[in-house]
Amino acid sequence: MFMIMFISTLFIMISNFLMMISIILSKKSFMDREKCSPFECGFDPKSFARIPFSLHFFLITVIFLIFDVEIALIFPIIKLFKMTNMFIWMKTSFFFILILLIGLYHEWNQSMLNWTN
């Protein structure tokens, strides 16, 4: 037990030391206007370099990631079909898919799935 605590403390100390060294040795200048401005063929940019962020696109991306993770959670349910009791398997699968359908209905009801408003 003592050896594990010693090794973990040593790793934490080494990583903190390396982070402090990297902060000290880095030469970042936050006041340099030229480095902070976007580069456009050597000329000053004609318009703002950053385009506005689409919140709706972000929400659709989050919805996609949630359903993607849920599909990854469904695969083990299929594998457990032969190993468990049929009633417990059906109840668990039904409950999981019911939660997915309620979430999908809520997103549809809030018109989150429409690309244009």
Most confident of 12-16, 19-23, 53-57, 79-83: 12-16
In sequence order, what are the beta bridge partners of 112? none
How does pLDDT run across 21-70, given as a tens digit for each residue? 988 888 666 666 666 666 656 665 566 656 677 777 788 888 888 888 88
**What is the pLDDT, as a whole number, of residue 16?**
95
In sequence order, what are the beta bridge partners of 91? none
Instruction: Compare 35 and 97 and report the one with higher pLDDT.
Output: 97
Sign of CA dihedral 67, 70, 72, 74: negative
Average pLDDT score over the chain: 80
Please report, for the chain, how many H helices and E strands are present, in that order.
4, 0
**What is the pLDDT, as a whole number, of residue 6?**
92
pTM of the model: 0.48
Residue spans of the domains in the chain: they are: 2-36, 55-109
